[in-house]
Structure 1
Amino acid sequence: MEKELKYIDIVEQPISMHPKKFALWLFLVTVVMIFAALTSAYIVRQSEGNWLEYELPEIFWVTSGIVLLSSVTLQWSYVSAKKDNFVSLRLGMLLTVLLGIAFLVGQWYSWIALVDRDVFFVGNPAGSFLYVFTGLHALHLISGVIFLIIVLISTFRLKVHSKSLNTMEMATTYWHFLGGLWLYLFMFLLLNH
C-alpha cells in the first residue's frame, strides 16, 4: 500500500481566470489585430505613391498628455480601491472619466484642424487612414469612458473595494490598453506621415 502512494501523480491546479477577464483579453487581442492590419495596410499603400504629405495637428500632443494623465489617475484609483480609500477612489475615477471626455473632445478638435489643413476623409488615402485610425480609436475610447462611468457609479454604491476588484481591474486593464494604443498610433503617425 505504501508503494502505491509514491506513484500517485500530483495534479497541479489549473490556471484560472474570471470569464469576463478572459473575454476582455480576447477582445484586446482582436483590437491589436485590427490595428496591426490597418498599420500594415497604411505602410503598403504609402509605398505605392500618390500620398498626401501633411503635418499632424499639434493637439495630438495635448491628447497624448491627457491620455497619459488619465492612466495615472486611474492607477491611483485602483491602488485606492485596494486600500479601501473610498474618497481617493471616487476622486480618481471622476478625474479619469473627465480626462477621457477631454481626450474625445481633443480628438474632435484634431479633426477640425485636419480639415483646416485640407486633409479629408475622402480624397487621398493618407487622410482616409488618419481618420480611420483616430475614429476607430475614439470609438473604443467611448466604450472605455462608458465602462469607467459604470465603475464610478459602482464606487458610490460600495461595490468596488479591496475584496471586490474584478470590475476595477478590468476597467484599468482596458483603459491602460487604450492609452498604450493611442501612444502607439501617435508614434506610428509621427514616423510615417
Structure 2
Amino acid sequence: MTIGLVFLTLLMALVVGWLFRQTIHVQPWQAQVAVPAPAPARPATRTGLWVFLGVASSLFVLFISAYAMRLGFADWSPIPRPRLLVLNTAMLVGASLAMQGSVRAARRGDGDALRQGLVAGGVLTAGFLAGQLVVWKQLNGADYFIASSAAAAFFYLFTAVHGLHVLGGLVAWWRAVSRAWRAPEPAAARLGVELCATYWHYLLAVWLVLYALIVSEDLGLAICSASPL
C-alpha cells in the first residue's frame, strides 16, 4: 500500500511540474520588452491560480491520507467497479486536449480554432460530469449508498469533491468563452484560455490519481473490486 501511494504521489508531482513549465513557457518578462506597458494583473492571475491549486492539492492529499489509514482496517470491503468510469475518464482526457488545442490556436491567432476548442472542452467536461452522475445512479440502484461501507463513502467523497472542482472550472470556462466571442483578436482572450487549460490539465491529473485509487486493485489501493457493475 505504501509503495502504491508513493508511486501515485510521484506521478502527480511529475504532472504538476509539467503544468508549471507549460505555464511559464510564455516568459512574460520578455513580453514586457515588446509591450511597453503590460497589465500587471497577468502574472498576479497566474500566481493566484497556482495558490488555489496548492490549496486544492492539500485538500486532496488530506482525503487520500485518511483513505490510506482507513484502508488498513479488517472490515474494508471494495464495491463493484462501474464500467462507465472508463468512458468518463476518456471524456476528461479529451476535454484537456481540447483546451490545450485552444491555447495553441490563441497563440497563432486562429480565432475559429480557439472557439471550437473551447466549445469541445466544455461539452466533453459536461459529459464527464453527467457520466459521474450516472455512475452514482448505478451504485444507488445496486444498493451501494454513501453509508453502505467505507469504500462506498470514499468513492462518493472523492468523486463529489473532484466534481465540485470541475463545476468551478466551468464557471471560468464560461467567462473564457464569452471573452473569446467578444474579443476582436484571439490574443485578447489568450490569458484566460491559458489559465483554463492549466486548470483542466490539473483536474485531469487529480482524476487520474483518484481513478488509480479506485481501480488499482493490484496495488492494494482499490476502492472498487475487479467485479464490474
TM-score normalised per structure 1: 0.87
Q: Secondary structure of 2:54's match?
A: helix
Q: Could you tell me which residue of structure 2 aligns to residue 107 of structure 1? A: 132
Indicate yes or no: 2:70 matched with 1:53: no
TM-superposition CA deviations, 1:3-51 (whole Å, max 9, x none)? xxxxxxxxxx9xx971121111011011111111111111110101212
Q: Secondary structure of 1:50's match?
A: coil
- The alpha carbon displacement at 1:162 in A equals 3.0
Indicate yes or no: 2:200 matched with 1:175: yes
TM-superposition CA deviations, 1:63-92 (whole Å, max 9, x none)? 100000111111111100111100111011
Q: Secondary structure of 1:26's match?
A: helix
C-alpha contact (below 8 Å) 2:91/2:124 kept by paired residues: yes
Distance 1:86 1:164 in 2: 10
C-alpha contact (below 8 Å) 2:179/2:189 kept by paired residues: no
Q: Could you tell me which residue of structure 1 aligns to residue 94 of structure 2? A: 69
Q: Could you tell me which residue of structure 2 aligns to residue 4 of structure 1? A: none
TM-score normalised per structure 2: 0.74
C-alpha contact (below 8 Å) 2:129/2:163 kept by paired residues: yes
Q: Could you tell me which residue of structure 2 aligns to residue 144 of structure 1? A: 169
Distance 2:128 2:175 in 1: 18
Distance 1:49 1:136 in 2: 26
Distance 2:44 2:155 in 1: 35
Indicate yes or no: 2:61 matched with 1:25: no
- The alpha carbon displacement at 1:159 in A equals 6.5
Q: Secondary structure of 2:90's match?
A: helix
Distance 1:127 1:82 in 2: 44
Q: Could you tell me which residue of structure 2 aligns to residue 125 of structure 1? A: 150
- Aligned length, in residue pairs: 179
C-alpha contact (below 8 Å) 1:74/1:172 kept by paired residues: yes
Report the residue type matching 1:32 in the other structure. Answer: S
Indicate yes or no: 2:187 matched with 1:187: no
Distance 1:165 1:77 in 2: 9
C-alpha contact (below 8 Å) 1:63/1:103 kept by paired residues: yes
Q: Could you tell me which residue of structure 1 aligns to residue 14 of structure 2? A: none
Q: Could you tell me which residue of structure 2 aligns to residue 43 of structure 1? A: 68
The equivalent position to 1:95 in structure 2, one of 99, 120, 126, is 120
TM-superposition CA deviations, 1:79-117 (whole Å, max 9, x none)? 001111001110110111111110110010010121133
C-alpha contact (below 8 Å) 1:154/1:160 kept by paired residues: no
Distance 1:103 1:160 in 2: 31
- Larger radius of gyration between Structure 1 and Structure 2: 1
Q: Could you tell me which residue of structure 2 aligns to residue 9 of structure 1? A: none
Distance 1:136 1:115 in 2: 18
